[in-house]
Amino acid sequence: MEFELTETQQLIRQTARDFAVKELEPGAGDREHKGEYPFELLRKMAELGLMGINVPEKWGGVEAGVVAYSLAMMEIARACASTAVTMAVSNMVAETICKYGTQEQISTHVPKITSGEYSAGAFALTEPGCGSDASALRTTAKKTDGGWIINGTKQFITSGEHAGVAVLWARTGGPGAHGITAFLVPKDTPGLKIGPEEKKMGLRASNTVSMIFEDAFLPSDAILGEEGKGFSVAMTALDGGRIGVASQANGIGQAALEAARSYSLDRKTFGKPLSEHQAIQWMLADSATELEAARLLVLQAAYLKETNKPFTKQASMAKLFATETANRVCARAFQIHGGYGYIEDYPVERYLRDARITTIYEGTSEIQRLVIARLLIKG
Ligand SMILES: Cc1cc2nc3c(=O)[nH]c(=O)nc-3n(C[C@H](O)[C@H](O)[C@H](O)COP(=O)(O)OP(=O)(O)OC[C@H]3O[C@@H](n4cnc5c(N)ncnc54)[C@H](O)[C@@H]3O)c2cc1C
């Protein structure tokens, strides 16, 4: 078994790390507390290739693979989880268009995502009435002359306001998964309105909005993939997306562990640094061990995807374990900071708030367990 990273993987990780340390980390807390969307930083990330890490070079990507993507995501999330989620969805959208799109669709949108001309891509699946149960979606697409008329609301869409293109799922047929089709929706589509920005617990420097379709017109060639096959487009995209969220969670957890370690060396109680109290050492040791185990699971899932092997179960295991781990690690880091952890001057309260959503979006922990159990029982 080979654990060494390739030169390309090391280069991508180093590029992401340098950018994260020099440019993202310094203002991350401030941006998050103010809810400032980082337009300029996202553009710089695109210039570095971070918006199309697993996208072919001919479409402006760096074609470095899924392991490199995962490593870069960990580095970016360690500095700024808000930026990391924006990057994760943009990469997922670019990859999905490359996999299912026509040459025309790919050449129209993907180079604009990878170059930063689009500030982001968006993935519009969730609705007010359904999240986990995505096959129950109610947004409709009705055939009309030369295209489709879309009606319905998408809820909690990351970058929905700023994305140059969104992948939208709508019902073109009967109930259930078979009646769903995926579409590409450019920004400023007539009949598309953007709802007010959600006031979130964490990730406040990312953009989360509803997208409201009122008789919005999409031309016939806006269909992504085949009519009635949209649900499998969504599920395939989410399998890969889960590796992104698991990597994001691992990066946040790593940042929390580093903060806890450093604080435990400085802060003295009962005449010695916190790091010399065994209870604190055990918290640090448990966090480091669990993060390492999560990282191996995540990289294994990334490797399987990269080598075109089945990876659905491993991606769900990685997401379940890495996101639950990040929450435990952040809670321990917070505890180690005592009262100071509760104060905005220290970053651990942000890590704790940012980590919280990772067990929810792109499939909750309960949904990951359903996926794992289903595949386990099927054999
Ligand atoms: C900040 C943020 C960003 C997001 N970004 C996006 C985005 O870009 N695009 C997008 O499409 N969506 C996005 N979402 C939506 C997110 O993916 C959903 O919130 C998530 O899938 C859960 O759906 P729900 O909120 O409707 O919860 P529900 O589906 O209503 O679930 C509620 C609870 O019940 C549990 N549950 C549900 N069904 C079962 C079951 N069968 N067995 C056991 N337990 C079950 C769930 O695990 C959960 O704990 C985002 C959400 C947030 C908060």
Average pLDDT over residues 175-196: 97
- Report CA(102)–ligand 1 centroid distance (Å): 30
The token duo for 148 is: 């489709």
Cβ within 8 Å of residue 240, ≥6 positions away: 66, 92, 95, 305, 315
Question: Angle 230-266/81-100 helices, nearest 10 degrees?
Answer: 160
Q: Which of 86, 90, 126, 135 maximizes ligand 1 atoms within 8 Å of its Cβ, making it the mutation to test the pocket? A: 126
Average pLDDT of the chain? 98
- Report CA(363)–ligand 1 centroid distance (Å): 6
DSSP codes, 49-100? TTT-TTS-GGGT-----HHHHHHHHHHHHHH-HHHHHHHHHHHHHHHHHHHH
Q: Whose CA is nearest to atom 26 of ligand 1?
A: 131
281 lines ligand 1 (CB under 6 A): no
| C-alpha gyration radius of the chain | 21
Atom of ligand 1 nearest to the CA of 132: 29
Q: 206-215 pLDDT, tens per residue?
A: 999 999 999 9
DSSP codes, 123-164? EE--BTTBSS-GGG---EEEEETTEEEEEEEEEEEETTTT-S
Residue 168 dihedral angles phi and psi, to the nearest 5°: -115, 140
Q: How many residues in total does the chain contain?
A: 379
132 lines ligand 1 (CB under 6 A): yes
Specify the amino acid at residue 200.
K
Share of the chain above pLDDT 70, in %: 100
Q: Whose CA is nearest to atom 23 of ligand 1?
A: 131
Residues of the chain with CATH 2.40.110.10: 123-228
368 lines ligand 1 (CB under 6 A): no
Residue 298 dihedral angles phi and psi, to the nearest 5°: -65, -45
Residues of the chain with CATH 1.10.540.10: 7-120
Residue 1 predicted with pLDDT over 90: no
Average pLDDT over residues 155-168: 98
pLDDT confidence band for 246 (50 / 70 / 90): very high
Q: What confidence score (pLDDT) does residue 2 get?
A: 82
Q: 53-89 pLDDT, tens per residue?
A: 999 999 999 999 999 999 999 999 999 999 999 999 9
Cα 161 from Cα 113, distance rounded (Å): 15
pLDDT confidence band for 379 (50 / 70 / 90): confident
Residue 182: strand pairing partners: 169, 224
Q: Which of 82, 87, 357, 361 maximizes ligand 1 atoms within 8 Å of its Cβ, making it the mutation to test the pocket? A: 361
Residues of the chain with CATH 1.20.140.10: 231-378
CA 108 distance to own-chain centroid:
23
Residue 23 falls in the annotated catalytic set: no
**Does the domain made of 7-120 have the CATH classification 1.10.540.10?**
yes
**Does the domain made of 123-228 have the CATH classification 2.40.50.140?**
no
Residue 41 predicted with pLDDT over 90: yes
- Report CA(127)–ligand 1 centroid distance (Å): 10
Residue 138 predicted with pLDDT over 90: yes
Q: 208-234 pLDDT, tens per residue?
A: 999 999 999 999 999 999 999 999 999
203 lines ligand 1 (CB under 6 A): yes
CATH architecture of 231-378: Up-down Bundle (1.20)
Q: Give the global pTM.
A: 0.98
The token duo for 225 is: 């993939």
